[in-house]
Every structure is written in structure tokens, then in C-alpha cells.
Amino acid sequence: MFKIKITIEKKTKISEIIIGDNLFFKLKEHLKKIEFSKIVIITDTIVDSFYGKKIKKALESYKLTTIVIPAGEKFKTLYTASAVYDQMIKASLNRDTLVIAFGGGVIGDLAGFVASTYMRGLPVIQVPTTLLAQVDASIGGKTGVDHTGGKNLIGAFYQPKLVLIDVDFLKTLPIREIKTGLAEVVKYGIIKDSELFAKLELNPKSTSKFWTEVICCCAAIKAEVVAKDEKEVTGLRMILNFGHTFGHAIESLTGYSKYTHGEGVAIGMVAAANLAFKLKMLKEKDLLRIVSLIAVLGLPTKCDLAVSTILKALYMDKKAKSGKIRFVLPVKIGKVVVRDDISEKTIKLSLKEIGCV
């Protein structure tokens, strides 16, 4: 078992991350430091079918309310959040309630957002069940819901008291979900850890030891960045959005149904790498390594959306500022920079490289 702490704003906010196997059944032990009298578990239909009875058994000594929502990104909306509020009010849940976000990235985002807004804030812990959520989405306090205008346009920064990452959950994940999580792992390798990137290129065996090491690497990088720039004030946290500027646009324009989040990010990383290469920032050998690894992992590297449509969506990105699109671009594997001075012509050329028309 490994522990990582995120300490923000002179120790006024401390978020603990615990990583290992066989942690789920010890959940009760890890709640002792948190003050609450009731628990609401927010999960989805898929996770509930696998683990619903088990989490209730693990927490049977507490006053429990379970709220189950439909699975999928398309349900990460204000409408769903409102339905969750309704159930919480009906159950007479107040400020002494602990929210447990039990699921993948969608549940983590939505449950975190509900916790941040219900009665002006309830304590929340994240128990991520997908690889994507374990390496990225559950860590750092970003919460939110999607809007027809774009992904995660409505949300808040709200740190969980605890993130409990049990790698045993990965044993029941479909292969597509493993691949979508690997996209985020590749991202960490490109932005800050060339050794992690090289490890993925060796095609290692999928074992609990391997996943624990990988998740620890990713969690440590994110914890370090978030502790220094929780709310993207200095710009450091922006590096965590590598691949996401293009990726979010692609997800949004395809109705959050054609591509998983990781698949969108994978295409976005290829687009960003191509953009960096066209700007003579990235060497061709590194571009080829990035595209090759993403393809070898079984992730998409191209999409056929209209260039003009994607460009319009890019201007709606949360990271856009003063009418300028901000991109996180690699200068080599292990290092990225943020640029907002790129011409539309160059952006269009990079999109055509990934198959856009």
C-alpha cells in the first residue's frame, strides 16, 4: 500500500491518496479520520451490478443511502445532478453526510460536483473503479458536468478528503476501458516522465504490481502539479490538459458516444504532437514514437470530423483566453509547453494530418 498527500494553500486543504490492492474491503478503516454521521453512495448501474452489495456490506454499520444513475458520459449533466439532489433531499441528507463517489470518471466528476454544491459543500471521497479515474480523474479536485456547448463547462474545484485506489477493480474492466485509461498514462509520460513512456513501449505484463507502479507514478505527478497550482492560476496545471484541447472538442462534437474520453484524448495527443512537429518544436522521431505507442495500445489516432467544426469548438474550450486557443504541446517526450500564438492555418493543417476534412 502506498500513500500520497496533496497539500494545498499552506495545509488548509489536504487530500490523501491511498493506492494498492485489496483496499476496497478495508474502506471502513480509512473513514475514521473523517467526521460524518451519514453516507450517500453515488454510483452507476454498471458498478452497482458488480459491487453494489459489496460496498453496502463493507459499510453496513453506517446510515446508508445509495443513488444509482445510468452509466455513460451522456448522463453527466445538470439534469442528472438535479435528480441526485432530489433524492438526497428526499432522504433528508444534511451537512453531516459523507459523499462517496463510487465509479469511473463520470461518477467522480458528477458526484464531486454534487458534493461541492449541495448545502454549499459536503465532504467527499473518491473510490475510482476504472483505470482512467484511478490515474487521473479522481485526483486533483476537478468536478463538473457537461453542457451542449462543451465538455465540463459547468463545475468547481473541490478537493476530496480521500482517494482510495484499489487496483483489484481493474480485473473486471472491459479491455476498451483499460485502453481508455492507458491514454491518460501515455499523457503523463509525455508531459513529465519519459521513463514511464519507455516502460509502456516495452509492452509489460498486466499485473497488480505493474498497475500499482503505474498508478503511483501518475498520481505522484498529478499531486505535485495540483499542490502548486490547484485552480490553474499560474498555468502549471495546464500541462495536465495535454491532448484534451483537441480531445474535448472531438468528444463533444460526436455526442460523447462515438469515443470514450481516453480515445478522444488519444486523438488529441496525436493532433497536438503533429502541431508541435509542424511548428518545429518536436523532432520527427519523438512524433513517430508518440503516434506508434498510441496505435500499439489499440487507441485511435485519426478522426474524420470537419476541420471548420473542430476549430469552432476549440474556441469554446475552457482554456481559451482573450479569444486565443491555448495548446499544450510537446517539445520532447517528458516535457511540454503552453502556446497561445498559433495561427488558424497551422491548426487546420495539423487537423488534416489526423484525417479531418
On whether 107 is known to bind a ligand per the annotation, the reply is yes
Separation CA 77–CA 147 (nearest Å): 7
Q: Where are the alpha helices (DSSP H) in the chain?
A: 27-30, 45-58, 78-90, 105-117, 131-132, 175-192, 194-201, 208-228, 244-253, 261-278, 284-296, 307-314, 344-353
52 is in an annotated binding site: no
To the query of whether residue 161 is one of the catalytic residues in this protein, the response is no
- Binding site annotation covers 244? yes
The three three-digit cell numbers of residue 155, written as one number = 463545475
DSSP 240-262: GGTTHHHHHHHHHHTTTTSS-HH
Q: How many residues does the chain have?
A: 357
Active-site position among 222, 251, 263, 319: 222
Catalytic residue from among 192, 241, 319, 353: 241
| Residue 278 counted as an annotated binding residue | no
Give me the long-range contacts of 61-67 (CB less than 8 A, separation at least 24). 61/28, 62/38, 63/37, 63/38, 63/39, 64/38, 64/39, 64/40, 65/38, 65/39, 65/40, 65/41, 65/91, 65/93, 66/40, 66/41, 67/40, 67/41, 67/42, 67/43
> Is 184 annotated as catalytic?
yes
CB 110 within 8 A of CB 76: yes
Determine the Cα–Cα distance for residues 175 and 7; give it in Å rounded to an integer: 34
Radius of gyration, CA atoms only, the chain: 20
Q: Name the active-site residue from 76, 177, 179, 184.
A: 184
Catalytic residue among 161, 187, 261, 326: 261
Identify whether 248 is a catalytic site residue.
Answer: yes
Q: Which of 76, 248, 319, 326 is catalytic?
A: 248
Say whether 222 is catalytic. Answer: yes
| 106 is known to lie in a ligand binding site | yes
Alpha-carbon distance of 84 to 18, in angstroms, equals 27
> According to the annotation, is 151 in a ligand binding site?
yes
Q: Which of 56, 147, 232, 283 is catalytic?
A: 232
The active-site residue out of 73, 76, 142, 187 is: 142
Any binding-site annotation on 184? yes
Separation CA 155–CA 141 (nearest Å):
10
- 172 annotated as belonging to a binding site for a ligand: yes
Measure the CA–CA gap between 333 and 200, rounded to whole angstroms: 13
**Active-site annotation holds for 30:** no
Three-state secondary-structure class, residue 22: coil
CA dist 247 → 79, 113, 250 (Å): 24, 22, 5
Residue among 161, 187, 192, 244 flagged as catalytic: 244
Catalytic: 339?
no
105 is in an annotated binding site: yes
Task: Summarize the annotated binding site for NAD(+) as residue ranges.
Answer: 105-109, 129-130, 142, 151, 169-172
Binding-site entries: 105-109, 129-130, 142, 151, 169-172, 184, 244, 261
Binding residues for Zn(2+): 184, 244, 261
The catalytic residue positions are 120, 142, 184, 222, 232, 237, 241, 244, 248, 261
